[in-house]
Amino acid sequence: MALLNLQLKDFRNIRHARLVPAAGINLLVGPNGSGKTSVLEAIHYLGFGRSFRTHLTGRVIQQGEQAFTLFARLQRDDDSLPVGLSKTRSGDTRLKVAGRAAERLADLAHILPIQLIHPEGYNLLTGGPKLRRAYLDWGLFYSHAGFFSAWGRFRRLLKQRNALLRQQRPYRELGYWDPQLVAVGEELSSFRQHYAEAIAPVIKTIAADFLPEYDFSFDFFRGWDRQAELARVLEQGFERDLGLGYTQSGPHKAEIRIKARGMPVQDLLSRGQLKLLVCAMRLAQGLYLKSESGQDCIFLIDDFASELDEQKRGLLAARLNELGAQVFISAIDVAQLSQMITRDNSKLFHVKQGEITETQECE
Ligand SMILES: Nc1ncnc2c1ncn2[C@@H]1O[C@H](COP(=O)(O)OP(=O)(O)OP(=O)(O)O)[C@@H](O)[C@H]1O
């Protein structure tokens, strides 16, 4: 999947812009505060239905305006698909896919897989397990058709169980819901286990290039005792859950634990190394998605390439090249990106005070 064109209206400092990006690498260059990240943020909005900088829609809508609107034409096989998303300050969302109103943002997400690589992205490793669960779930959303509905059912059942726990209901009342929670929880967990085992060797291969000094191990924790069945864990933990008012164990606690030299990576690696490992993890998801389903994801790389040394930048460029994915990279100075321009289908855009101009085709 690639964007054939993109239009932004009243998005951050961009009043109106239209881009016809290259199918390969697109460089967005401009001074601080010019609007480079806003372009990436807009593409992210199309794929995720949300920003990676704020959860408040009002922050993204141009000051003084009531709504932002994004349009894109996506390439799909030999065809193209128009999509549109508009959000108002009062919280209304309008979504159109192929000229028809779509109800769920997931409809758009399905056709537009996006990977974001940005300087704060290392919190995937230093932050809580929720982020690593989301990492696994991103992959499952695209590779296992049944995952999204299993995940939705599990969330509803868990919410219900926690509400009963807060009401101090007796175990026999939960007894009605628990078998359903267990069934869907185990289904979810086996999806995750399968994905974690499949993605780990792909990450290791890429990380061996970026960080050859480490050998990483990946350990999937499903969210409850390895030896025990979920039904038993819920039953035995009931009194404690009742005291806490929530369910302490289950797939909602799952995560992937990454170690090197016997230590959790977040305690061992430097910040720069953590960033490289996250970059390897994101590239691995793109590579795996492509190998499994033939689907391309779009890479958004915000202000990151400039942080890499020349050799690492070359490695990143080579991997992106191998993927053949559409890439949008922001930087302050084009010189920081010269090494990224390795493909003939690259374009350079200058961004200045919210105005975007395609300046030249990169050789
Ligand atoms: N809702 C809004 N309405 C209008 N302008 C906004 C809004 N939100 C942010 N801005 C402005 O838009 C610009 C957004 O800049 P953006 O973060 O995209 O810049 P950038 O080119 O990525 O900068 P840097 O290189 O410093 O990261 C900033 O100048 C900011 O003040």
ipTM, 2 dp: 0.98
Nearest residue (by CA) to ligand 1, atom 24, is 32
Q: Measure Cα distances from 323 to 79, 285, 288 in Å.
A: 21, 11, 10
pLDDT value at position 338? 77
Annotated ligand binding at 32? The verdict is yes
* pLDDT tens-digit profile, the chain (363 residues): 899 999 999 999 999 999 999 999 999 999 999 999 999 999 999 999 999 999 999 999 999 999 999 999 999 878 899 999 999 999 899 999 988 998 888 888 888 999 999 888 899 999 999 999 999 999 999 988 889 999 999 999 999 999 999 999 888 888 888 999 999 999 999 999 999 999 999 999 999 999 999 999 999 999 999 899 999 999 999 999 999 999 999 999 999 999 999 999 999 999 889 999 999 999 999 999 999 999 999 999 998 776 788 888 888 888 888 888 999 999 998 887 777 776 578 899 999 999 999 986 554
Annotated ligand binding at 30? The verdict is yes
Expressed in angstroms and rounded, the spacing between residue 348 Cα and the centre of ligand 1 is: 19
Annotated ligand binding at 321? The verdict is no
Nearest residue (by CA) to ligand 1, atom 25, is 32
Expressed in angstroms and rounded, the spacing between residue 89 Cα and the centre of ligand 1 is: 18
pLDDT value at position 173? 85
Burial class (CB in 10 A: 0-12, 13-18, 19+), 80: middle
Q: Is the distance from CB of 210 to CB of 187 less than 8 angstroms?
A: no
pLDDT value at position 13? 98
Specify the pTM. 0.94
Burial class (CB in 10 A: 0-12, 13-18, 19+), 243: exposed
Strand order, beta sheet including 216-221: 216-221, 255-260, 263-264
Pocket test for ligand 1, best of 13, 32, 302 (most atoms within 8 A of CB): 13
Expressed in angstroms and rounded, the spacing between residue 53 Cα and the centre of ligand 1 is: 11
pLDDT value at position 363? 47
Burial class (CB in 10 A: 0-12, 13-18, 19+), 47: buried
Expressed in angstroms and rounded, the spacing between residue 303 Cα and the centre of ligand 1 is: 14
- Ligand 1: list residues with CB < 6 Å: 12-13, 30, 32-38, 59, 61-63, 303, 330, 332, 351
d(CA 54, CA 50) in angstroms, rounded, equals: 8
